[in-house]
A and B are shown apart, each in its own frame.
Chain A
Amino acid sequence: MHVIHQRLPKTVLLPVIASALLLSGCSGGTTTGAADSGQSIADVAEEDLQGTTIEFSHFFGECSDEVGDSTDITAVVGECPTITTLTNKFNAENEHGITVNRLGGAAWDNYYDQLNTAIAGSTPPDVAAMHGASLVDYAQRSLLVPLDEAVAATDTDLEDALPVEQDAIRYEDKVYAVPFDVHAALAHVNVDLFRQAGLVDDTGAPVLPTSTEEFITAAKTMKDKTGKNLIAIPRVGDNLGWHLVHSLIMQQGSSVLSEDLTEANLDTPEARKAVDFVSSLFTSGYADGDQTYDAAGQSFLNGEAAMLYNGTWVVDSYNAEASFEYQATNFPTLFKEPAVWSNQHLWAIPAQKDADPVKYRAALEFVNFLYENDATWALGTGHISSRTSIVESPEYEAAPQRQNYAETGLTNAGLLPHISNWPAVEKICVQAVESIWFQDAPVEDALREADANINSALAGG
């Protein structure tokens, strides 16, 4: 027993200091700067590319067992099989002799931790997937290779990218990424229930509300005629509840941040209106406020809700699974401007310490291949293609549901504030609406507090 006593101080200090260690372990930082290497990337000779191997990291999951060496892109379904098959196809068929190695799989929720660690350790991948909302964090720190001149060498037609992508891939007028898709919020509709409630036009197509008043009236009609909820919103343990509020703020022409993107702007009449409207759906019993992502999806598929607020990524599985007439469509505009939450998947080329133009060029060739094959991705996943020519192509329009929400990609999709630190700002917003919904915080207090927190986050530290 005496021994135990004497050893105590160490026992006490160890865990304390271990936590400090954890923090300091990452203080190395890197000094890699993006070389101004546009011209040299364009100048790389074809023979230099032969035998180049590049590393590729993305957050679409791991399915190499399932896909194997398949290069058949005609019938792939789902994010992981599609990107894996595309990679196989590039490896098998590219004329430059480039080999793409997939780095260890990461899910989208911890992908950036891995990427950050790799960057801090000066070993970033050659091609990295990135969300539009995260691009500025990296571009601003000169961690990505500017591509304006380089894309000329690969004939990457960025003019063809959707308007929202044009903004998403740029930071301070320079291009830092090649787009892959727009994924946005949609209305997933149970057409049978809309018919039962009489919420259809002469042709039997569902009529979605065009104002908050109409929304409430429709919800009441739906309840009276069918006993079902008009809408399911996954607001428990998921950001989608906030995304709906955010969409409605954008529809009123307002924004989470001030126009110059330097200050918080959440404590506004528009935001209060958006929150109050969404909250009223739950309190009036037109939506179930206890639903997680899974529960909301299940209740929609079980015919308990006539509409579901969810993204492009579920279109194909619902299209296959729904036992009723299913329609994916643009989320209704309830205020003056069409706008809806969206984000983009992009491909960026991280700056390397040795800034080898051959590797950069090889990376760009692969990224260009993915951009060329964007239709495969959009048709395989439900996401909206990043290219106008594809969204307007007959092949795309003929694919299930795609034309019903093409408008979302062409005009409705709103760009998230293109700032550094957006994920931190969004987290504060999510916490604000959750504190209103689940912890009975008064709306004004929660929004004012969120503004203060957002300003602190923007100020950095």
Chain B
Amino acid sequence: MDAALFLAPFLAVYAIFLLAPVGQALYMSGFNWDLLSPIRQFVGADNYLRMLWGTGIVWNISHAWLPRLLVLAVTALIIRSLLRQGPSKTAAVVTGAAGVIIAVLLGFHPGPGGAWNDSGFWNSLQNTLVFTLVSTPILIALGLAMALLLNNARRGRSAYRAVFFLPYVLPISAVTLIWSYLLNPDRGLIAGALGWFGVDGIAFLSEPALAMPAIIATSVWWSVGFNMVLFAAGLQDIEPAYYEAASLDGAGYWQRFRHITVPGLSHVTVLVTITQLIASFQIFGQVYIMTRGGPGTATEVLIQHVYEAGFKNYQLGYAAALSVFLFVVMAAVAAVQFRLISKDA
């Protein structure tokens, strides 16, 4: 009873500002819900159908076989890791079933003459996944590496920390402006440097193969400092005596890193990985300001698709359906990570 009272203020705010909107998004996704007029027409699952289906959709075993194999492989790895952790088999069974279902569903695609209802959705989902899968490991590894270097620095530690953390303080609009100038093929700093070697400026943001890497580089520069500070704080928490003892026992740098630093940082790693994955899934500002999703559709991401459906096309119901999908994907990824990493930690 006391606990409930104690929690009540927080739960009230949580329910009003967090749970209710999620419920409302779910509710709205069943409607043709116009942004500007009172049109509220119940359409059932039409919004989901529009998002996930198309005309002339067929299924075969060999379509997109590589991503599907990857899904199965990751599922197998997760199951193995789950089974190692303890006696509960439910999680493993659920994961296995989910993995197989996803792999089967990925076999659907438009046949000859067919098309997705909203191919922009699939494209933006793919771009979001690419961004997330590439940027997250870089952000974590680089954050950790910088924290380690900082930890070993004898002088100016706080100065370096401030310098590396500074970009994170900047608003995304400022960050993207800086990088847009840097990357400008005519007047940019990089083009200028290339000019010394007689090389023409590279149009990073208008070349489909380079636009996403440029956005990833921008994102890393912007937010790696935050991960670094978290890791640096984690490193401070590791008892120095462990390192001393290990050194006396003849452990080398790699062995100390592997057996003391990594386990000592496991909680921070969980935190960084999960927050980072979620932040990466929600990428929007960098893309919207630097490329608007272009060239073509090469960098269009999910949140941009949601924003444009809701605010440019006035279709709040469809936008809600898209964001519910994003919510489910992120919740699933986070849940898996919790099961996997937090038990080890």
Give the B-binding residues of A (Cβ under 8 A): 1-2, 4-5, 8, 11-17, 19-21, 23-27, 29-31, 112-113, 116, 119-120, 137-138, 141-143, 236-237, 290, 292, 294-295, 298, 421, 423-424, 427-428, 431, 434-435, 437-439, 441, 448-449, 451-453, 456-457, 459-461
Chain B residue with the shortest CB-CB distance to A2: B267
**Do A452 and B206 have beta carbons less than 8 Å apart?**
no
**Do B28 and A236 have beta carbons less than 8 Å apart?**
no
| A-B pairs with beta carbons under 8 Å apart, 6 shown | A20-B24, A116-B36, A141-B34, A237-B206, A424-B308, A431-B300
Residues of A within 8 A of B116 (CB): 449, 452
Q: How many A-B residue pairs have CB under 8 A?
A: 195
- Give min CB distance, B345 to chain A, whole Å: 7
Q: State which of B34, B297, B334 has its C-beta within 8 Å of the C-beta of A435.
A: B297
Known: A1-B237, A8-B270, A30-B36. A461 touches B315 (CB 8 A): yes
Residues of B within 8 A of A31 (CB): 38
Main secondary structure of the interface of A (DSSP, over half): helix
Residues of A within 8 A of B312 (CB): 112, 423-424, 427
**Do B295 and A12 have beta carbons less than 8 Å apart?**
no
**Do A24 and B24 have beta carbons less than 8 Å apart?**
yes
Query: Which of A12, A112, A457 is packed against the most chain B CB atoms within 10 Å?
Result: A12
Q: How far is the CA of A423 from the CA of B47 in the complex (A)?
A: 20
Q: How far is the CA of A17 from the CA of B26 in the complex (A)?
A: 12
Q: Does B255 interact with chain A (Cβ within 8 Å)? A: no
Q: How far is the CA of A435 from the CA of B119 in the complex (A)?
A: 12
**Do A236 and B206 have beta carbons less than 8 Å apart?**
yes
**Do A26 and B334 have beta carbons less than 8 Å apart?**
no
Q: How far is the CA of A267 from the CA of B297 in the complex (A)?
A: 19
- Give min CB distance, A286 to chain B, whole Å: 20
- Give min CB distance, B206 to chain A, whole Å: 4
**Do A29 and B55 have beta carbons less than 8 Å apart?**
no
Number of interface residues of B (CB under 8 A): 80
**Do A434 and B323 have beta carbons less than 8 Å apart?**
no
Q: Does B327 interact with chain A (Cβ within 8 Å)? A: yes
**Do B203 and A448 have beta carbons less than 8 Å apart?**
no
Q: How far is the CA of A424 from the CA of B35 in the complex (A)?
A: 14
**Do B21 and A17 have beta carbons less than 8 Å apart?**
yes
Q: State which of A1, A138, A290, A457 has its C-beta within 8 Å of the C-beta of B36.
A: A138
**Do B342 and A16 have beta carbons less than 8 Å apart?**
no
Q: Provide the B171-205 mask, 1 if CB < 8 A to any CB of A, else 0.
A: 00000000000000110000000000000000101
**Do B50 and A461 have beta carbons less than 8 Å apart?**
yes
Known: A11-B274, A21-B21, A119-B36. A434 touches B315 (CB 8 A): no
Residues of A within 8 A of B47 (CB): 461
Q: Does B296 interact with chain A (Cβ within 8 Å)? A: yes
Give the A-binding residues of B (Cβ under 8 A): 17-22, 24-25, 28, 32-38, 43, 46-47, 50, 54-55, 113, 115-120, 185-186, 203, 205-208, 234, 237, 267-268, 270-271, 274-275, 278-279, 282, 291-292, 294-298, 300, 303, 306, 308-321, 323, 326-327, 330-331, 334, 338, 342, 345
**Do B278 and A141 have beta carbons less than 8 Å apart?**
no
Q: How far is the CA of A196 from the CA of B326 in the complex (A)?
A: 59
Residues of B within 8 A of A459 (CB): 50
Known: A30-B36, A461-B317. A237 touches B295 (CB 8 A): yes
Q: How far is the CA of A461 from the CA of B322 in the complex (A)?
A: 11
Known: A20-B25, A141-B36. A5 touches B319 (CB 8 A): no
Residues of A within 8 A of B46 (CB): 461
**Do B327 and A116 have beta carbons less than 8 Å apart?**
no
Residues of A within 8 A of B24 (CB): 20, 24, 27
Chain B residue with the shortest CB-CB distance to A12: B334
**Do B316 and A26 have beta carbons less than 8 Å apart?**
yes
Chain A residue with the shortest CB-CB distance to B115: A452
- Give min CB distance, B109 to chain A, whole Å: 12
**Do B270 and A16 have beta carbons less than 8 Å apart?**
no
Q: How far is the CA of A119 from the CA of B35 in the complex (A)?
A: 9
**Do B36 and A434 have beta carbons less than 8 Å apart?**
no
Q: How far is the CA of A240 from the CA of B316 in the complex (A)?
A: 29
Residues of A within 8 A of B50 (CB): 456, 459, 461
Known: A236-B206, A452-B115. A4 touches B267 (CB 8 A): yes
**Do B318 and A461 have beta carbons less than 8 Å apart?**
yes
- Give min CB distance, A113 to chain B, whole Å: 6
Residues of B within 8 A of A13 (CB): 18
**Do B119 and A452 have beta carbons less than 8 Å apart?**
yes
**Do B32 and A461 have beta carbons less than 8 Å apart?**
yes
Residues of B within 8 A of A4 (CB): 267-268, 271
Q: How far is the CA of A21 from the CA of B22 in the complex (A)?
A: 7
Residues of A within 8 A of B43 (CB): 461
Q: State which of B120, B274, B327 has its C-beta within 8 Å of the C-beta of A8.
A: B274
- Give min CB distance, B163 to chain A, whole Å: 25
- Give min CB distance, A257 to chain B, whole Å: 16
Chain A residue with the shortest CB-CB distance to B265: A1
**Do A453 and B119 have beta carbons less than 8 Å apart?**
yes
- Give min CB distance, B2 to chain A, whole Å: 19
Q: How far is the CA of A298 from the CA of B187 in the complex (A)?
A: 12
**Do B271 and A11 have beta carbons less than 8 Å apart?**
yes
- Give min CB distance, A43 to chain B, whole Å: 28
Known: A5-B345, A29-B35. A439 touches B313 (CB 8 A): no
- Give min CB distance, B78 to chain A, whole Å: 18
Residues of B within 8 A of A15 (CB): 275, 278-279, 282
**Do A27 and B36 have beta carbons less than 8 Å apart?**
no
**Do A23 and B21 have beta carbons less than 8 Å apart?**
yes
**Do B306 and A23 have beta carbons less than 8 Å apart?**
yes
Residues of B within 8 A of A26 (CB): 35, 310-311, 316
- Give min CB distance, B144 to chain A, whole Å: 16
Known: A424-B312, A431-B120, A453-B120. A5 touches B21 (CB 8 A): no
Known: A20-B323, A120-B36. A290 touches B206 (CB 8 A): yes
Residues of B within 8 A of A12 (CB): 274-275, 278, 334, 338
Q: How far is the CA of A461 from the CA of B315 in the complex (A)?
A: 6
**Do B331 and A435 have beta carbons less than 8 Å apart?**
no
**Do B323 and A19 have beta carbons less than 8 Å apart?**
yes
Chain A residue with the shortest CB-CB distance to B298: A439
**Do A17 and B18 have beta carbons less than 8 Å apart?**
yes
- Give min CB distance, B190 to chain A, whole Å: 16
Residues of A within 8 A of B326 (CB): 19
